Chain A
Amino acid sequence: EPEVTQTPSHQVTQMGQEVILRCVPISNHLYFYWYRQILGQKVEFLVSFYNNEISEKSEIFDDQFSVERPDGSNFTLKIRSTKLEDSAMYFCASSLRIGLIYEQYFGPGTRLTVT
């Protein structure tokens, strides 16, 4: 069964460093998302991406964040200058759209630890 994959599974970085989290969505999906979950808190929407542009973003997704689909298979989230509060599990998701239905499939997540 097709699945969303993410690399790395765990990333440790120092405050102020740039990180790139990578995702390979399901191959025929057209809509891509990043969510994050701070330990013990809700899963929060960051950004959605379709047709090579951002469809919607949350207040969390400020100028420190960017997304890119550099080729036909990868979808990346870049954090330019990490802060301690960026420590969280980051989930990538992808979906088709059938009518008004988006069934989202999530990857296993990347645990980001900022020290």
Chain B
Amino acid sequence: KQEVTQIPAALSVPEGENLVLNCSFTDSAIYNLQWFRQDPGKGLTSLLLIQSSQREQTSGRLNASLDKSSGRSTLYIAASQPGDSATYLCAVLNTNAGKSTFGDGTTLTVKP
């Protein structure tokens, strides 16, 4: 059974800092991994998707890496802004029926 863990659970940084969020998963037989952003009381916004054959994926100030063999992914956020404050979720897809297993999330606060 796939287990997904995210550390840290919460992170508070001053504006402008670069930061790294971590995601680990127990079953490396994955199809892809998605990073999402969730604002309080809202839905999930897809940020990046990494295919199982890829090592990293970039979008703007975001860079996600994947090391399937060690069961780890990181989300790097460059030059953080207060608008980046949200909960970041990692989700691993590892069945051909499209089921994703989510981590608990990292709640990020960027202080002005």
Write out the residue numbers on chain B whose beta carbons fall within 8 Å of the beta carbon of A68.
none
Does chain B have a CB within 8 A of A48? yes
Complex Cα–Cα for A101 and B104 (A): 23
Does chain A have a CB within 8 A of B91? yes
Give the A-B contact count at a CB cut-off of 8 A: 70
Write out the residue numbers on chain B whose beta carbons fall within 8 Å of the beta carbon of A42.
102-105
- B: contact size bracket: 20 to 34
**Is the beta-carbon distance between A106 and B46 smaller than 8 angstroms?**
yes
Interface string of A40-54 (1 = CB under 8 A from B): 001111001010000
For chain B residues 69-93, which have a beta carbon within 8 Å of chain A?
A: 89, 91, 93
Does chain B have a CB within 8 A of A91? yes
Interface string of A2-26 (1 = CB under 8 A from B): 0000000000000000000000000
Write out the residue numbers on chain A whose beta carbons fall within 8 Å of the beta carbon of B102.
35, 42-44
Q: How many residues of chain A get a CB closer than 8 Å to chain B's CBs?
A: 27
Does chain B have a CB within 8 A of A75? no
The chain A residue with its CB closest to the CB of B36 is A106
Write out the residue numbers on chain A whose beta carbons fall within 8 Å of the beta carbon of B20.
none
A interface, CB within 8 angstroms of B? 31, 33, 35, 42-45, 48, 50, 55-56, 58, 91, 93, 95, 97, 100-109, 111
